[in-house]
Amino acid sequence: MSAQVDSMPIAWLRRVGSMSLFFVQVCARSVASFTKPGLIVRQIYNAGARSLVIVMLSGLFVGMVLGLLGFDTLQRFGSEDSLGVLAALGMLKVLGPVLTALLFAGRAGTSLTSEIGLMKSTDQLTAMQMMAVDPLRHVIAPRFLGGIIAMPLLAATFSVIGLFGAQLIGVQQMGVDAGAFWSQTQNAVDLRDVTEGIVKSLVFGVACSLIAVYEGYHSEPTPEGVGLATTRTVVTSSVMVLLLNYLLTAAFLTKS
């Protein structure tokens, strides 16, 4: 038991080291994989377009809940006209990037891990090596880049749909003035808020994509191994997204 506890930090450190090394290797191959943009576009479609429905639906419902709760709270202070500001800043700075990243990890991340894990267990990656083709360059780098590019686009979609959902509840149902809703939103949201959302979604995109491809590439080539790797992808990505969200929020607040 003691040995197990002792080895946990070492195993964790080894894992962080291995993932960092993998990150450097993938980044080095990513430059070369731009010479075959078709592979990257295909992965943007797989990670992005195929996640669009779940992201849009989630964004709508989250926005609607935000509209309901925001209206309920703000009307106590007689400032329900500020609902648009609350919804826009909440969506852009936190809810959009964070929830999209969690959805991305659950939908696209697991798909990436299991796909790469299955390619490994069916010798497809070894076959590539035997054909003198580097799987890191041909399989991993395009998927990694596809995830990074898809994430901010998905987060932007989530925020826009979420704002629409908040407007639907606040303006259409609760009777908040539409002019006040949109004009206050326009006045309160500036470029720095949008930048914060974009930076966060990019960082989350790097983290989630890296974890997904790393877990797939290093999974045990068995059905159980691929299953475990997929689970690790969701758990590690979720924790990393929440941790990074705290660090980035603190960094942006300090900067302002």
Partner 1 sequence: MLSFAAFPAPGRRARLSDFPSKDANPSPAPAGDAVIEVRDAHYSIGGRKIFDGLDITARRGRITAFMGPSGTGKTTLLRLITGQSTAERGSVKAWGQEVSRMSSPELFALRRRMGMLFQNGALLTDEDVYENVAFPLRAHTKLPESLVRQLVLTKLQAVGLRGAARLMPSELSGGMARRVALARAIVMDPELLIYDEPFVGLDPISMGVICRLIKQLNDALGITSIVVSHDVQELSSIADDSFLLSGGRVVAKGTPAELHKSDLAEVRQFMEGLADGPVPFHYPAPDLARDLLGEEA
- CB nearer partner 1, residue 133 or residue 251: 133
Q: Are 248 and 199 in contact (CB under 8 A)?
A: yes
Among 1, 131, 191, 253, interactor with partner 1 by CB under 8 A: 131
- CB nearer partner 1, residue 25 or residue 82: 25
Residue 40: name the closest of 51, 32, 200 by CA: 32
Using CB under 8 A as the binding criterion, the count of chain residues that bind partner 1 stands at 14
Q: Which of positions 132-171 make contact with partner 1 (CB under 8 A)?
A: 132-134, 138
97's tokens? 């990037």
Give the shortest CB-222-to-partner 1 separation in angstroms: 14
φ/ψ region of 189 (left if φ > 0, alpha if ψ in -120 to 50, else beta) reads beta
DSSP E strand boundaries for the chain: none
Among 13, 127, 235, 251, interactor with partner 1 by CB under 8 A: 127
List, in order, residues 6 or more apart from 81 with CB less than 8 Å away. 176, 177, 180, 181, 184
The site string for partner 1 over 89-118 (x = CB under 8 A, - otherwise) reads -----------------------------x
Give the shortest CB-141-to-partner 1 separation in angstroms: 14
Give the shortest CB-142-to-partner 1 separation in angstroms: 12
Rounded Cα distance, 117 and 100, in Å: 24
Give the shortest CB-107-to-partner 1 separation in angstroms: 18
Give the shortest CB-226-to-partner 1 separation in angstroms: 14
When asked if residue 130 is in the footprint of partner 1 (CB under 8 A), the reply is: yes
Q: Are 133 and 23 in contact (CB under 8 A)?
A: no
When asked if residue 39 is in the footprint of partner 1 (CB under 8 A), the reply is: no
Q: How many residues does the chain have?
A: 256
Q: CA-based angle 94:96:100, to the nearest 5?
A: 120
Cβ neighbourhood burial of 187 (10 Å; 0-12, 13-18, 19+): exposed
Q: Which stretch binds partner 1 (CB under 8 A): 1-9, 125-133, 145-153, 173-181?
A: 125-133
When asked if residue 49 is in the footprint of partner 1 (CB under 8 A), the reply is: no
- CB nearer partner 1, residue 31 or residue 133: 133
Q: Which stretch binds partner 1 (CB under 8 A): 74-82, 119-127, 178-186, 243-251?
A: 119-127
Rounded Cα distance, 196 and 188, in Å: 15
* Positions that interact with partner 1 (CB under 8 A): 118-119, 122-124, 126-127, 129-134, 138
